[in-house]
Amino acid sequence: MERELIIVVDFGGQYNQLIARRVRDLNVYCEVVPFDKALERAKKDKPKGIIFTGGPASVYAACAPSVEKEIFELGIPVLGICYGAQLMAHLLGGKVKSPDFKEYGKIEYDVKCGSKLFQGIEGKNICWMSHRDYISQLPAGFEITATTQMCPVAAMEMADKNIYGLQFHPEVTHTQRGNDILRNFLYGICKVKGDWTMGSYLAEQLPLIKKTAAGKKVLCGLSGGVDSSVAAVMVHRAIGDNLICVFVDHGLLRKNEGDEVEKFFKDAYKMNFIRVNAGPRFLKKLAGVSDPEQKRKIIGAEFIAVFDEEAQKLGQVDCLLQGTIYPDVIESGSGHSAVIKSHHNVGGLPKDIKFQLLEPLRLLFKDEVRRLGEELEIPRELVWRQPFPGPGLAVRCLGEITEDKLKIIRESDAILRQEIAKHKLEYTIWQYFTFLPNIRSVGVMGDERTYFHTVGIRAVTSSDAMTADWARIPYEILEKISSRIVSEVESVNRVIYDITSKPPATIEWE
């Protein structure tokens, strides 16, 4: 199926995938392309538009990421954002400088003239700035379309060539009218129609899955989380009983989770479902391991080992189905972006893997996966289930993992989930869980001194897991949760609440 395409050129910034997310929110398909492949991809696929992202470099640095100047001569509309705008100015004959001042955070910008990019947006608005350099001199043929108090070129354009630059970040929610700016570029300048929906994606993918997996046995590593569940239901619809779901209970799940997963897929969906109780095996492999990256790679390798054993029992198995999604790929160091953390289904796979990988969700963000689940008519309680990492509680237990520590996390997490549901907050908070930060502290319980564990609570609001803010849970609810955890969970005398956003933190602690 032919669909409209926008290319998002990656220059290494951490907002890059957020740009892609916003474009897709506007019903336009886009793909992120490394800067050194941008011209080749643009010539080959003839996209409706090109967006240059931000990045941490200076355009004058020796190894600064760049593109060939020819990309501006293809007749394809280009929008440069932050570093992308500076690079545009630099390549086209303007000048970029490092000023004495820096602009970070919310800044007022003023639209100076009529522009297709600012159609319907007039006067002063708030934008999100994050830059060290700035455009000090326009390239020939450009005009300034917006300024800030400290930045003379907050926006520029060469309208007759459909080339536009923004020093600020329209993709960030703090930028007022940011979505309108992107919509103006996509619909007003690139002239897209907007044909990207999860309904169209499903209609496209089902025949592809049937073709790819025709006559093959597909083994699914089913965790019961949103991603693997949607992937399993999607592939099951395409190939039926040729899908075999192997649920590895690695002993790192939440309270009663294993039984719930088995009941749903084995009884409700009537899938070929195999449960492997491998908890002791995983704990043995993880004994004495404290480094979070090592934990992830051990778990990933052990998952594959279990799958390999199950595949041998089943006979010939050709494909491995995974619920890998875009943020997994991004945070594991896709393209030229920095590695945030390795995901067991991306960075932990052995090079000699014996299966053909089937990853139908690899280019989708989390909320796109949820919408796809709704298209598949999966029950709401599963589609909107809490995100849960593949390594499970291993990344919520800092330091060495023991069964006693896991019990504390399971019991405290169950209390947290009960209270969140009781107060009807389960669909307003993106993700919430307890973790064990490997801290013991002094306390007084029953007139006796204690030296027990500290339990942490993490709860965030988000739309795509790329950025997140801490959830403002009412104090009285937090008080109840804390009281119950200390009273009902053995060896805990203190509860803390993480109030850090992402960035600078990640959602998980490891």
Please provide the average confidence, as pLDDT, over all residues in the chain.
Answer: 89
Residue 271 lies in a domain: yes
Q: Calculate mean pLDDT across residues 30-58.
A: 94
Of 199, 256, 255, 257, residue with least CA distance to 223: 257
pLDDT digit string, tens, across residues 189-240: 999 999 999 999 999 999 999 999 988 989 888 888 889 899 999 999 999 9
Do 30 and 131 share a domain, yes or no?
Answer: yes
Domain end residue (candidates: 161, 189, 217): 189
Residue 388 lies in a domain: no
| Tokens (6 digits) for 432 | 């919430």
Do 137 and 49 share a domain, yes or no?
Answer: yes
The Cβ of residue 288 has, within 10 Å, a number of other Cβ atoms equal to 6
| Tokens (6 digits) for 274 | 């195999």
Question: Can you give the pLDDT at residue 351?
Answer: 55
The band of 99, judged by pLDDT with boundaries at 50, 70 and 90, is confident
448 or 396, greater pLDDT: 396
Poorest-pLDDT segment among 286-295, 337-346, 452-461: 337-346
Poorest-pLDDT segment among 98-102, 241-245, 476-480: 98-102
Residue 11 lies in a domain: yes
Do 256 and 354 share a domain, yes or no?
Answer: yes
pLDDT digit string, tens, across residues 465-477: 767 899 999 999 9
Question: Can you give the pLDDT at residue 379?
Answer: 86
Do 234 and 294 share a domain, yes or no?
Answer: yes
Do 148 and 241 share a domain, yes or no?
Answer: no
Do 406 and 322 share a domain, yes or no?
Answer: no
Residue 397 lies in a domain: no
Give dist(CA 416, CA 427) in Å, integer: 14
Question: Can you give the pLDDT at residue 344?
Answer: 43
Do the Cβ atoms of 420 and 432 come closer than 8 Å?
yes
**DSSP code per residue over 17-31:** HHHHHHHHHTT--EE
- Flag whether pLDDT at 309 surpasses 90: no
| DSSP three-state, residue 32 | strand
Q: Calculate mean pLDDT across residues 128-133.
A: 79
Question: Can you give the pLDDT at residue 335?
Answer: 46
Structural domains of the chain, count: 3
Q: Calculate mean pLDDT across residues 425-449.
A: 91
- Flag whether pLDDT at 394 surpasses 60: yes
**DSSP code per residue over 274-314:** EEEE-HHHHHHHHTT---HHHHHHHHHHHHHHHHHHHHHHH
Q: What's 256's domain CATH number?
A: 3.40.50.620
Do 37 and 165 share a domain, yes or no?
Answer: yes
Q: Calculate mean pLDDT across residues 141-168.
A: 93
Question: Can you give the pLDDT at residue 339?
Answer: 39
Do 308 and 289 share a domain, yes or no?
Answer: yes
Q: Give yes or no: 453 in active site.
A: no
Do the Cβ atoms of 386 and 451 come closer than 8 Å?
no
Q: Give yes or no: 151 in active site.
A: no
From the candidates 169, 250, 343, 344, which is the catalytic residue? 169
Residue 503 lies in a domain: no
Do 179 and 286 share a domain, yes or no?
Answer: no
Residue 95 lies in a domain: yes
Q: Give yes or no: 82 in active site.
A: yes
Give dist(CA 225, CA 373) in Å, integer: 12
Do 245 and 151 share a domain, yes or no?
Answer: no
The band of 337, judged by pLDDT with boundaries at 50, 70 and 90, is very low
Residue 508 lies in a domain: no
Distance (Å) of CA 479 to CA 233, 476, 494: 39, 5, 12
Q: Calculate mean pLDDT across residues 417-423.
A: 96
pLDDT digit string, tens, across residues 252-296: 999 998 898 898 888 888 899 999 999 999 999 999 999 999 999
Question: Can you give the pLDDT at residue 346?
Answer: 45
Question: Can you give the pLDDT at residue 76?
Answer: 97
Give dist(CA 460, CA 430) in Å, integer: 6
Domain end residue (candidates: 383, 417, 448): 383
Do 152 and 259 share a domain, yes or no?
Answer: no
Do the Cβ atoms of 412 and 434 come closer than 8 Å?
yes
Do 62 and 185 share a domain, yes or no?
Answer: yes
Do the Cβ atoms of 157 and 145 come closer than 8 Å?
yes
Crossing angle of helices 226-239 and 198-212, rounded to 10°: 60
From the candidates 4, 30, 82, 344, which is the catalytic residue? 82
Give dist(CA 506, CA 251) in Å, integer: 24
Range of the domain at 109: 6-189
Q: What's 433's domain CATH number?
A: 3.30.300.10
Of 118, 119, 112, 120, residue with least CA distance to 138: 112
Residue 510 lies in a domain: no
Crossing angle of helices 198-212 and 366-375, rounded to 10°: 80
- Flag whether pLDDT at 1 surpasses 70: no
From the candidates 4, 103, 157, 171, which is the catalytic residue? 171
The band of 123, judged by pLDDT with boundaries at 50, 70 and 90, is confident
Domain end residue (candidates: 165, 189, 213): 189
Instruction: State residue 37 phi and psi, 5-degree precision.
Output: -115, 0
Distance (Å) of CA 44 to CA 7, 39, 40, 318, 390: 12, 9, 6, 32, 36
